[in-house]
Each structure stands twice: as structure tokens, then as C-alpha cells.
Amino acid sequence: MPACCSWEDVFQYETNKVTQIQSVNYGTIKWLLHTIVFSYACFALWSDRLYQKKEPVISSVHTKVKGTAEVKEEIMENGVQKTVWNIFDTADYTFPLQGNSFFLMTNFLKTEGQVQGLCPEYPTRRTLCSSDRNCKKGWMDPQSKGVQTGKCVQYKGNQKTCEVSAWCPVEAVEEAPR
């Protein structure tokens, strides 16, 4: 449609001229090509079932766990009921992914040189204290190595930190070498 220059041009309408050719040969070729293309599309979809094709699901789930867990277990030993407290940290209950499997922790190994007990936490901004008021009993900081007992105890020299129920002595928190 040409650009409008006047009101007369606005009310004009143009169409292309259509020419019909009466030829049996051209008509046959046209419809033969249409039939071949349509038949091929139908055959490809039906034979390969492409309209139904599904891909198998391939996925994995990895759960990251932070912090510590305090577990109270009551056991019978020589006819006497005892209460045993265990502390689990991230290394105790997380494991690398293993394809096409499910893992449930039923056993664990203790780290040599450490024993479960009460000890001062490694000094950080959150664990330094001056009195028992600064430590909350039963509180677990995600970066902590154990569960606080509510007591402020001597760490080294004049440094005091909150006492924790954990694997003692707690590991020093240091930056990884670059």
C-alpha cells in the first residue's frame, strides 16, 4: 500500500492479480508434492512416535547440613540404665553423593585424638565471653563445634570462651591456605 498523500489515497484499495493456469501436468505435480510432504510428516511422526517420545528423568538431590546435633541415648549396661550423650557434627552425618543409591547412617567412627566431653570453644567473635551471662545453655551456633553449656571458662591465657559439649579439644578455625 503506497504512502498516504491525500484523502483520495486513503480510500483506495489494491490487490494482486491472480492468474489460473489450467494444466493437468502442473496440477498433478503440485498435488503429488503436497501428498509426498504430508505423507512423510505423518509417517515420521507415527513410526517414530515422536509425538509421544519421553526422556527419562536424570536427577540427583544433595542436602547440605550445617551445625551439630546432640543425641541423648538411654542404654542398659549390666542391668543398670545409663544415659549416654553423643554429639554429631557435619562430618559425622554427611557423605558424598553415590549414584542411584540411598544412604542412611547407622554407624560412625570417632576421630582419633578427640573425645566427647566439655571443653572451651575456639575463640571467635561469638564465643568470647566475660561471664556466664554471655553463654546460652543448649544454644548451637552454626559455626560452632558443639552445644553450649551456659558456662564461661578459661581458654588460653586471659581469654575466656563459652564451654561446649563437643569433640574435645575443638579444632582451631583457620583460613585455608591460598
Percent above pLDDT 70 for the chain = 78
The model's pLDDT over 42-62, given as tens digits with 9 standing for 90+, comes to: 888 777 776 676 777 777 676
Report the 10 Å Cβ neighbour count for 46.
Answer: 10
User: CA-based angle 134:138:143, to the nearest 5?
Assistant: 75
Summarize pLDDT for 92-149 with one digit per residue, the tens.
777 776 767 766 666 655 555 788 899 999 888 888 899 999 899 988 887 788 899 9
Q: Cα(47)–Cα(103) distance, rounded to whole angstroms?
A: 42
Question: What's the N-to-C CA distance of the chain in angstroms?
Answer: 70
Determine the Cα–Cα distance for residues 92 and 109; give it in Å rounded to an integer.
8
Q: φ, ψ for residue 134 (rounded to 5)?
A: -80, -10
Report domain extents, the chain. 24-51, 65-108, 113-173
Q: Minimal CA–CA distance to 104: which of 88, 93, 89, 116?
A: 93
Q: Which residues does residue 116 pair with via DSSP β-bridges, in sequence order?
A: 167
Query: Which residue, chain included where needed, has cell 517414530?
Result: 48
Pick the closest to residue 150 from 158, 161, 142 (CA basis): 161
pLDDT (0 to 100) of residue 173: 62
Residues of the chain with pLDDT > 90: what percent?
19
**More confident call, 147 vs 177:** 147
Look up residue 93 and give its three cell numbers. 552425618
